[in-house]
């Protein structure tokens, strides 16, 4: 049985709160909880995961002992990462997740000091425990507790020997970086706990920006679970986007994340944003139709036939884009007159645009790639532009509706035997 146990700044995967009193505090002084060496020992910490930029060689506890000495009982992993939206969190998640898992599965060394002091006993009484191994997906914290815990709330759950390790996960404020690592771990270790009705119920408790439905429901559900005992948990929007990608990739803690097309696409988009911010077109180009894994607009699990959508040059009928590469485009409001005024089909950058995009311009015209045609079919702008319907795409690659034809076709309907000859309509 594994618990997340949070008391103030601590959890069985203990989450750090480092309150900042003044902006003039040094980096090491901000690591207040990590400097409380006796508290770490009292809570039987075996592993420390630091997601913050600091030099352990400069860190001392409140007894003026260097971390090189008082940190000997702990296995320590330092991940140097800043709490900014475009920081590459994804590349760090596999080792963070595996480190947490290693810590929770490890055995506590026998020489590690324990304590029965009154302050720790009182602390245990206030601990909120959330079971992640309960068979009942909708059970409450008390329902999912083991019998010994339910019988006496004043006593911590009885642990079987050998005693397992505990992991202290911290950043600078216990709000964004450390929470992101915990979400990634929970999604990898307990994926089924955050899907289906149970996940939907958890995710529905979020409010405001955290309830953004563009982020996968399991990611929001994992955040909601942590917020039950850590209300200030709030990964920055960029980290939430990356956690969404982590889920889309299948939480590849054991794989090479650098080879994942989703991760490569994110890297490219980040580099493109950085170039555009300084008034330059991206130096490297990414064409969606050249990737080994292409998105799909259909689902094999759906019984209804899905339209096969194509955009063709009106002049020569050359196919310019197919359904997987047409960007969903929704008018700012549902007003019929506004929607009908939309004059563009927005698409992903495709390989037939290569010659134009390699010019390195921030904006330009798109022409039909058929050398015998060459008709103007649209335009692009790396900085984006608004559509006449009121919405905006950044960056924007558009085909003008007046210059292309939209073609929709459906798969043949299956009929019961005896109708239509062989069962086809």
For residue 351, what is the DSSP state? G
Lookup: tokens for 144: 């999912």
- In sequence order, the 6+-apart residues with CB closer than 8 A to the CB of 241 are 215
Q: Are 424 and 412 in contact (CB under 8 A)?
A: yes
- Do residues 281 and 275 make contact, with C-beta atoms less than 8 angstroms apart? yes
Please report the domains of the chain, with CATH numbers, ordered by start residue.
3-146+159-248 (3.90.190.10), 308-409 (2.170.150)
Contact 14, 46 (CB under 8 A): no
What ranges in 19-140 are assigned the alpha helix state H?
Answer: 27-30, 37-42, 67-70, 93-105, 118-125
DSSP H helices, 45-195, are 67-70, 93-105, 118-125, 147-151, 177-189
Closest CA to 78 of 145, 28, 125: 28
Helices (H), 6-47: 27-30, 37-42
Give the pLDDT of residue 356: 95
35: Cβ contacts below 8 Å, ≥ 6 apart: 28, 59, 60, 61, 62
Closest CA to 182 of 46, 16, 1: 16
Q: Which residues are catalytic?
A: 171
Rounded Cα gap, residues 395 and 353, in angstroms:
14
* Strands 344-346 and 363-367, bridge-based pairing: unpaired
Residues 6 or more apart from 339 whose CB is under 8 A from it? 331, 389
Instruction: At 425, list the tokens.
Output: 């309509």
pLDDT in tens, the chain (425 residues): 334 443 333 334 544 433 322 222 334 445 777 878 888 888 888 899 999 888 888 888 888 888 888 878 889 999 999 999 999 999 999 999 999 999 998 876 544 544 333 433 433 343 334 444 443 333 333 333 333 333 334 454 554 456 778 899 989 888 999 999 999 999 999 999 999 999 999 999 999 888 888 899 999 999 999 999 999 999 999 999 999 999 999 999 987 899 898 999 999 989 999 999 999 999 888 898 887 555 444 333 344 445 688 999 999 999 999 999 998 876 666 554 555 568 889 999 999 999 999 999 999 999 999 999 999 999 999 998 888 777 788 899 999 999 999 998 765 555 555 544 444 44
Show Cβ contacts of residue 135 under 8 Å, excluding neighbours closer than 6 positions.
none
Q: Which helix (H) or strand (E) holds 266?
A: helix 261-277
**CA-to-CA distance for 230 and 227, rounded, in angstroms?**
4
Contact 286, 315 (CB under 8 A): no
pLDDT of 130: 40
pLDDT at 127: 33
The whole-angstrom distance between residue 287's C-alpha and the CA centroid of its chain comes to 23
- Report the distance separating Cα 204 and Cα 199, nearest Å: 9
Distance CA 66, CA 179 (A): 27
**Going by DSSP bridges, is the β-strand pair 47-50/75-78 parallel, antiparallel, or unpaired?**
parallel
Find, among 113, 146, 147, the residue nearest to 45 by Cα. Answer: 113
Rounded to whole angstroms, the Cα distance separating 48 from 8 reads 17
Tell me, what's the pLDDT at 108?
62
Residue 242 has a pLDDT of: 97
Q: Which stretches does DSSP call E strand in 202-331?
A: 308-313, 319-322
pTM over 0.85: no
DSSP run (H or E) holding 218? helix 217-227
Helix (H, G, I), strand (E, B) or coil at 289: helix
* Per-residue CA distances from 242 to 55, 94, 238, 248, 287 (Å): 27, 13, 6, 10, 21
How far out from the chain centre does Cα 146 lie? 32
Closest CA to 92 of 215, 273, 257: 257
> Of 161, 139, 137, which Cα lies nearest the Cα of 150?
139
């Amino acid at each position: 049985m594994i618990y997340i146990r949070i008391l103030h700044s601590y959890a069985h995967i203990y989450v750090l709160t480092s309150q900042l009193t003044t902006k003039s505090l040094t980096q090491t002084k901000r690591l207040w909880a990590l400097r409380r060496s006796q508290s770490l020992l009292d809570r039987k910490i075996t592993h420390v995961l630091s997601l913050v930029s600091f030099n352990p060689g400069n860190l001392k506890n409140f007894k003026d002992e260097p971390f090189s000495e008082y940190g000997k009982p702990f296995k320590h992993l330092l991940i140097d990462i800043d709490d900014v939206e475009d920081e590459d969190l994804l590349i760090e998640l596999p080792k963070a997740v595996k480190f947490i898992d290693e810590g929770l599965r490890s055995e506590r060394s026998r020489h590690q000091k324990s304590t029965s002091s009154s302050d720790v006993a009182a602390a245990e009484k206030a601990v909120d425990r959330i079971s992640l191994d309960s068979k009942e997906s909708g059970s409450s914290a008390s329902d999912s507790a083991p019998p010994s815990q339910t019988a006496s709330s004043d006593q911590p759950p009885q642990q079987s020997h050998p005693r397992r390790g505990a992991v202290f996960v911290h950043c600078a404020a216990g709000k964004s970086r450390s929470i992101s690592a915990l979400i990634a771990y929970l999604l990898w270790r307990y994926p089924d706990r955050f899907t289906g009705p149970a996940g939907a119920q958890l995710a529905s408790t979020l409010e405001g920006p955290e309830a953004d439905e563009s982020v996968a429901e399991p990611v929001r559900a994992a955040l909601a679970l942590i917020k039950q005992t850590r209300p200030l948990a709030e990964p920055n929007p960029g980290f939430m986007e990356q956690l969404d990608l982590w889920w889309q990739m299948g939480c590849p803690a054991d794989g090479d994340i650098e080879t994942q097309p989703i991760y490569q696409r994110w890297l490219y988009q980040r580099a493109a944003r950085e170039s555009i911010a300084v008034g330059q077109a991206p130096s490297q180009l990414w064409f969606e139709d050249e990737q080994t894994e292409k998105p799909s607009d259909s689902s094999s699990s759906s019984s209804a036939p899905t339209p096969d959508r194509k955009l063709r040059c009106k002049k020569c009928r050359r196919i310019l884009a197919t359904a997987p590469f047409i960007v969903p485009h929704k008018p700012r409001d549902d007003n019929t007159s506004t929607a009908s005024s939309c004059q563009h089909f927005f698409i992903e950058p495709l390989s037939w645009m290569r010659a134009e995009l390699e010019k390195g311009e921030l904006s330009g015209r798109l022409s039909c790639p058929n050398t015998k045609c060459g008709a103007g079919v649209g335009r692009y702008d790396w900085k984006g532009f608004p559509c006449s319907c009121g919405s905006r795409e950044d960056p924007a690659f558009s085909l003008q509706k007046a210059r292309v034809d939209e073609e929709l076709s459906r798969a043949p309907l299956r009929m019961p035997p005896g109708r239509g000859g062989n069962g086809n309509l």
